[in-house]
Amino acid sequence: MPPEEYSASLPKATMYGSLFFTDTAGRPLQLLSSVAAGVWQFPGGNTDAGESPWETAVRECREETGLDFTGPPRLLAVHFMPPVGGWVACRAGFVFDGGALTDEQLASIRLDPDEHTEWQVRTVEDWERLCDPPTFRRLVAVMAARRGEGASYIETGEWT
């Protein structure tokens, strides 16, 4: 079978890349989506054509927060979602470690209002009260990877 024909027969999928940050006290940073009401997210988004998940994470972080991340790519988690919630393709996400942000770096965050309305750093316990269950499970898995427990693989079937 010619490569073009074989490629056309494959299932379609999308990818995203994101950066996970904490403050210097180890409290995770998340952004409140202005698109999906009540959903907290890491800085990140869908890959553009020809872009790697790492390139996406860095670009989206800059666009969404104004932070220009220059650290090395350190993978914390891979996140798989089947086609749910109106999506017609599977989604795979790559969450990279952005490290700890100083108070000055946090104060310099400038959100894109078309994407996010606010940012917060909170304890994991506080995030459990604010996040939907799939978002919180992802946060816990990413925190475990950050602690050195190895990269996480997460499947989310009921993602919003």
- Over residues 18-28, the pLDDT tens digits come to 999 999 999 99
pLDDT at 70 over 90: yes
Domains recognised in the chain with CATH numbers: 3-155 (3.90.79.10)
Which residue type occupies 25?
A
pLDDT at 159 over 70: no
| pTM of the predicted model over 0.95 | no
Alpha-carbon distances, residue 159 vs 10, 11, 127 (angstroms): 23, 20, 17
Q: Are 109 and 66 in contact (CB under 8 A)?
A: yes
Question: Does residue 35 or residue 128 have the better pLDDT?
Answer: 128
Mean pLDDT for the chain? 92
Task: Report the percent of the chain where pLDDT is more than 70.
Answer: 98
- Give rounded-to-5 percent helix, strand, coil for the chain: 30, 30, 40
**Tens of pLDDT along 89-139?**
889 999 999 999 999 999 999 999 999 999 999 999 999 999 989 899 999
Question: Does residue 81 or residue 53 have the better pLDDT?
Answer: 53
Q: Comparing C-alpha atoms, which of 25, 29, 26 is closest to residue 44? A: 29
Q: Are 30 and 42 in contact (CB under 8 A)?
A: yes
